[in-house]
Structure 1
C-alpha cells in the first residue's frame, strides 16, 4: 500500500514526528506499506532519515522562510506530483497548507487522513488577522471536508478541534507515541553533577525563561547544571544570563541522537509550557522521550501535557508557578539513588505501556486499512 505523506514544510531536526511512523512501518508486515513524503520546502540535516522526501519550492540552499514566497506558485505542482504517485492513502500532517493533499485526493481518488497537531487547531478557533490566515482557514475547512478521518494528537486537542469546527464524527485521538526501543536508559552514564534539561523552542510558550528563573533560584540550595537544547527568539537573552550564571549550558538545536544522549544524562526534564498568544501545548513528545530514557519530568499542567506525563513519577504544576517549579525540581534533584531509579523506572513503564510508537503504529495501520477499504 503506497502512502503519500504531506506537510507544508519539513525540517529535520526537529520535526521527526512526521516521519517516525513511516520509518517504523516501512518493511514491516511483509512490505505492506511504502511511503513518500511531499512538502513545499524541506531542510533535512539528519542523514539517518530513510524516507524519500520531495519538495517543490526553488532555491533549496536557502532557508525555508526565504523560500515561502514561492509556495503559492508550486502548490499545483505538488498536487499533481502527489496524484501521480498513485497512493492508496494520502496522510496530511497539519490542516494548514493542505491544499495539494486535498486536490490530489480528488484527482487520484485516494482517501485523505489529516492529523491535527496544534497550531492548525488554534488558528481555526480564532478570527483571522490577515490574508494568509484567511487562506489557511479556508484550506483547513477543505481538509476537514475532504478527509475520511481526522486524527488529533491528544484529547485536549480533539476537544479544541471540535470547538473550532472540525467534524466530531470524523475525529479520533491518535497519540503519536515514541520509539521505546530507541529512547532507552543508559545505565553506563556517569553523572558528575545533577542536571536539569530543557529541550524545545526558546520562546514564551515553551516557558524557557521561567525554567531559567527557577534554576537560578535553586543555586543556593542545590548545585546543578541546566542544559538547554533548542533555538528561538530568547537565545540572545539567554546568552546574557549565561554570562552571569555559568551553570547554564546553551547547546543550540540538537539532532535526535544528541537529544537522547542529554536525556540519558539528565536528572530531570523541565517543560513549563504555558498559554501564549492564545495557544497551549497540544501534546509534548519530548516529555515521552525523556521518560522513556528513565528521566522524570516536571512540567506545567497546560494543554495536552498531562496526557503525556506519568502520574506516579512526574510532577505537574499550575501555569506560571515559578516558585512551585523551583520546589518540584529541588525535590527530584534531592532524590537518593534508590528513589531516582524507582522514579525513572515508573516513568519509562508509563511510556512503554501507554505511549509507545509500537502501539501508535498499530493504530495507524488500522486507520490506513480502514480508509483504503471502508467495506472491509
Structure 2
C-alpha cells in the first residue's frame, strides 16, 4: 500500500511521532512524507521526506512564514505520488492534504492531536482563527476516519460537533525497543526528579519547582529540568539560587533517554491554560518504558497514560498541595515498593501503549480507510 503522510511542518527532533509508525511499518508499505517545511537533524530518520519551501539560507521560522505560497505544490506532489491513503497529522493546515484527497482521488485519514481541536473551540474572530476553523472542518468533512490520540480528545471533538461516527481513539505509543530501562551503572547519589517539556504555564514547571523546594529538606533529591520556552529565565534563576535544581535546556533525543533511564521519577504537572489541556503526553510513556515511575496532574488525556497508583501517581488538576504530597510520598517509598512500581511502569507501556501495538492498530485503520 502507498501511504502519503502529510503535515504542515516537520522538525526532528522533537516531532518523532510523525515518522515513528512509518519507520516501523516501512517494510510492509511504501511511505512518503510530504511537509511544507522540514528540518531533520536526526540521521536515523529514514522515511523519504519531501518539503517545498526553499531553504536558500533562511531560518526555519522564516520558512514557516512562506508556507501558504507553497501549499498548491504540496497538493500536486501528493497527487503525483498516487497514494492509496493520505494520512494527515493535525486538522490545522490540512488543506494541501484535503485538496489532494479530493483531486487524486485518494481517501483521507486525519489524526487529531489536540491543538487542532483547541483551535476549533476558540472563536473565529481573527483571520488566523478563521483559517484554522476552515482547515479543521475541511479535514473533518473529507476524512473517512478521524483518529484522536486519547478518549479525552475524542470526547472534546464530538462536543464541538465533529462526526462521532468517524472518530476513533488511536494511542500513539512509544518504541519499547528504544526506550528501555538503564543498566543501573549510573546510580545517582540523590534521587533524580526529572522534568522534560516546554517551559510554559500549561506544562506546570512552576508547580514542580515549588513542590520540589517544599519537600527537599525531608526528602532529598535533585531536580533536573530539560526543555525550553517562555519561562526559561525564571527556571534558570531558580537553578542558580537552589543547588539541588539543575537546568539543562534543550537536549537531543538520546540525551533525554539517558536522563529518563537515570531518573528516579518523572513529573509532568500539565494543566489547563488558555482553554488547552494535554491531549496525551508521550513523555509519560517514554519514562515508564524506561522503568521510571511518573507523577502528573489528572488533566486532559494524561490519566489514559498512567496506571494510577501502580505505575505512578496522579494528583487532581492544579492541586498543588496534592502534587507536593504525592512527590513526598514517592520519594519516601521503600526500596521494595519503588522497584515494584518500576516494573509496573515498564509492563504498562509494553502491554498497553507500545509503538508495536499502535502500529498494528494504525495499519488496520489504513486498510479500512482504503477499502472505504
TM-score of the two chains, using structure 1 as the length reference: 0.96
| Corresponding residue to 1:116 among 112, 115, 121 | 112
Alignment partner, residue 141 of structure 1:
137
Task: Return the offset for 1:187.
Answer: 2.9
Q: Is the 8 A contact 1:92 1:114 kept in 2?
A: yes
Give me the CA root mean square deviation: 1.3
How far apart, CA to CA, are the structure 2 residues paired with 1:177 and 1:278?
25
- SS of 2:162 mapped into structure 1: coil
Alignment partner, residue 212 of structure 2:
215
How far apart, CA to CA, are the structure 2 residues paired with 1:152 and 1:316?
22
Alignment partner, residue 324 of structure 2:
326
Task: Return the offset for 1:61.
Answer: 4.4
Alignment partner, residue 237 of structure 1:
234
How far apart, CA to CA, are the structure 2 residues paired with 1:9 and 1:60?
17
Alignment partner, residue 6 of structure 1:
6
Q: Is the 8 A contact 2:288 2:311 kept in 1?
A: no
Tell me: CA distance 1:316–1:52, structure 2 relative to 1, closer, same or farther (3 Å). Answer: same
Alignment partner, residue 265 of structure 1:
262
How far apart, CA to CA, are the structure 2 residues paired with 1:188 and 1:34?
40
Q: How does 1:52-131 map to 2 (within 5 A)?
A: 52-59=48-55, 61-131=57-127
TM-score of the two chains, using structure 2 as the length reference: 0.97
Alignment partner, residue 22 of structure 1:
22
How far apart, CA to CA, are the structure 1 residues paired with 2:125 and 2:200?
21
- SS of 1:306 mapped into structure 2: helix
Task: Return the offset for 1:60.
Answer: 5.9
Task: Return the offset for 1:139.
Answer: 1.1
Alignment partner, residue 195 of structure 1:
192
Alignment partner, residue 367 of structure 2:
369
Structure 2, unpaired ranges of 5+? none
Tell me: CA distance 1:21–1:60, structure 2 relative to 1, closer, same or farther (3 Å). Answer: farther
Q: Is the 8 A contact 1:124 1:165 kept in 2?
A: no
Moved more, 324-333 or 166-175: 324-333
How far apart, CA to CA, are the structure 2 residues paired with 1:121 and 1:189?
44
